């Protein structure tokens, strides 16, 4: 009796191709989708398939370990607040439909190398990983940029809850252990949804020190509420803007408590609404500062500082400071460049939220700090009087240097500049051009 319906093994056998080749052909559309039930094809579909094309389309499955390393490589270095992609993460990507299962263990599947490379080239790869790959506690701590003990406090406080679990056999360490899994999106959103916490301080706690979160009280289930003022802090707008959203949008969450004057809203419901209306987004990476440092022989060196914190002095007698997370290699090179008598110059300093700056010299490293989570935080400083405005283009260069010490009076018509000083103009009776800007 002739078979009229084929499963994937029978279909592959009928065409005399590997089962992985049939899976790849169906997953990529080379063969029509199952038409005789889930995972089952009719005789007409199977016999119409081109066996040579099906066999040629498969360039050899790649293991989950290789796929994980390729995706990790695509994320770039250094991996700041981003755990390495694991072989089990590849299994989650298969279940999400982003990769085609070709064989092997379901949790650690074989996949097609070409499809992995295509996924690795996608700009939204970090977003896809956050959306589809849950994290264990250690990975979640890395994603948040804190120590494991700090993330344990986050769990104690009830700010995140498990979305699943996995059994891991540690063999020599007590056998099978059930490990909770957390949504990477929920973890990454914590600095946004908990704006009252000084996350920079939490990330900078030294090893062996008590977590700053240990003194906080856990939320009561069903009672995690926010006022409009905290919603405004989440979205970095004024309270009046949130009041306006509430008035204009019929689907804005209804109050869960409080009073008419000071209504309270369920935090999770508000966060879901803000995400749905693009008022907030999941942070995919730390903000970064870019430095173009000029060394001997006018050679330029590029550096990156993650999670930068720039403090500009109010007058020329003070000092500016810039701190951020660095790699050991970059920290050593920056220290060497700034070790001279006059320090180093910065042709272009780009920090989110600030116009590009330049520093004419005397830049030096004043602190190297190793946090308990292993990150290295570097602090640079320079006199405010040498801060200027960077020129256009990626290489920078000082095009104008403001004069912070020439503070404008009531009758001053000098122009304010991005570097914090004033740019004298000849028609100003107070300054004129007697105190001219320094040009490079």
Q: How many CA atoms lie within 13 A of 164 on its CB side?
A: 10
DSSP notation for 236-286 = TS-HHHHHHHHHH-TTSPPP-EE-SSSEEEEHHHHHHHHHHTTSS----S-
Per-residue pLDDT band at 20 (split at 50, 70, 90):
confident
Please compute Rg for the chain using Cα positions. 29
Retrieve residue 407's tokens: 């503070």
Cα 188 from Cα 173, distance rounded (Å): 30
**Does residue 226 sit in helix, strand or coil?**
strand
**pLDDT tens string 225-252:** 999 999 999 999 999 999 999 999 999 9
What is the Cβ-side half-sphere exposure of residue 280, based on CA atoms within 13 angstroms? Answer: 26
Question: Looking at residue 426, what is its pLDDT?
Answer: 63
Predicted pLDDT at 351: 92
In the three-class reduction of DSSP (H, G, I as helix; E, B as strand; rest coil), residue 128 is classed as helix
Instruction: Round to whole Å and give the CA distance between 386 and 437.
Output: 11
Helix axes 137-144, 148-156, angle to 10 degrees: 100
Asked if pLDDT for residue 310 goes beyond 90, the answer is yes
Alpha helices in 284-420 (DSSP H): 328-337
CA 207/CA 370 separation, integer angstroms:
9
Residue 30 confidence (pLDDT)? 87
pLDDT per residue as tens digits for the range 172-206:
666 788 999 999 999 999 999 999 999 999 999 99
The mean pLDDT value of the chain amounts to 87
User: How confident is residue 440, by pLDDT bands cut at 50, 70 and 90?
Assistant: very low
pLDDT band at 422, cuts 50/70/90?
Answer: low
pLDDT the model gives residue 439: 40
Q: What is the pLDDT of residue 60?
A: 75
Q: What average pLDDT does the segment 82-103 reach?
A: 95
Q: Is the pLDDT of residue 416 over 70?
A: no
Cα(246)–Cα(114) distance, rounded to whole angstroms?
48
Q: What is the rounded end-to-end Cα distance, in angstroms, of the chain?
A: 89
Least-confidence region, from 201-205, 344-348, 380-384: 344-348
Structure tokens belonging to residue 389: 């405005």
d(CA 180, CA 161): 9
Token pair recorded at residue 289:
């500062």
């Amino acid at each position: 009796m002739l078979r009229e319906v084929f499963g994937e093994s029978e279909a592959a056998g009928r065409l005399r191709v590997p089962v992985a080749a049939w899976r790849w052909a169906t997953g990529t559309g080379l063969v029509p989708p199952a038409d005789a039930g889930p995972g089952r094809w009719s005789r007409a579909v199977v016999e119409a398939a081109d066996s040579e094309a099906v066999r040629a389309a498969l360039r050899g499955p790649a293991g989950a370990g290789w796929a994980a390393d390729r995706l990790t490589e695509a994320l770039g270095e250094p991996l700041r607040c981003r755990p390495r992609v694991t072989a089990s993460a590849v299994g989650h990507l298969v279940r999400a439909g982003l990769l085609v299962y070709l064989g092997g263990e379901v949790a650690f599947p074989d996949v097609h190398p070409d499809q992995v490379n295509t996924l690795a080239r996608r700009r939204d790869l970090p977003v896809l990983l956050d959306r589809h790959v849950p994290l264990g506690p250690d990975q979640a701590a890395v994603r948040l940029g804190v120590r494991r003990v700090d993330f344990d406090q986050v769990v104690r406080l009830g700010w995140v809850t498990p979305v699943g679990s996995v059994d891991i056999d540690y063999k020599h360490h007590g056998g099978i252990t059930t490990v909770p899994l957390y949504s990477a999106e929920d973890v990454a959103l914590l600095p946004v949804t908990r704006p009252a916490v000084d996350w920079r301080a939490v990330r900078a706690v030294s090893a062996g020190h008590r977590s700053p979160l240990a003194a906080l009280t856990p939320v009561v289930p069903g009672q995690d509420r926010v006022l409009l003022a905290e919603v405004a802090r989440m979205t970095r707008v004024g309270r009046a803007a949130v009041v306006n959203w509430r008035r204009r949008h019929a689907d804005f969450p209804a109050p869960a408590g409080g009073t008419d004057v000071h209504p309270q809203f369920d935090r999770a419901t508000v966060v879901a609404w803000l995400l749905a209306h693009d008022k907030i987004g999941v942070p995919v990476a730390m903000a970064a500062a870019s430095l173009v440092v000029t060394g001997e022989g006018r050679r330029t060196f590029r550096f990156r500082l993650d999670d930068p914190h720039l403090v500009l002095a109010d007058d020329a007698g003070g000092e500016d400071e810039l701190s951020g997370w660095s790699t050991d290699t970059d920290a050593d090179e920056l220290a060497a460049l700034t070790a001279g008598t006059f320090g180093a110059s910065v042709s272009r300093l780009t920090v989110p939220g600030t116009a590009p700056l330049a520093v004419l010299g005397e830049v030096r490293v004043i602190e190297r700090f190793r946090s308990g989570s292993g990150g290295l935080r570097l602090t640079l400083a320079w006199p405010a009087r040498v801060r200027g405005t960077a020129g256009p283009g990626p290489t920078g260069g000082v095009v104008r240097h403001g004069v912070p010490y020439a503070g404008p009076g009531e009758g001053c018509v000098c122009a304010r500049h991005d570097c914090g000083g004033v740019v004298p103009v000849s028609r100003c009776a107070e300054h004129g051009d007697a105190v001219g800007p320094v040009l490079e």
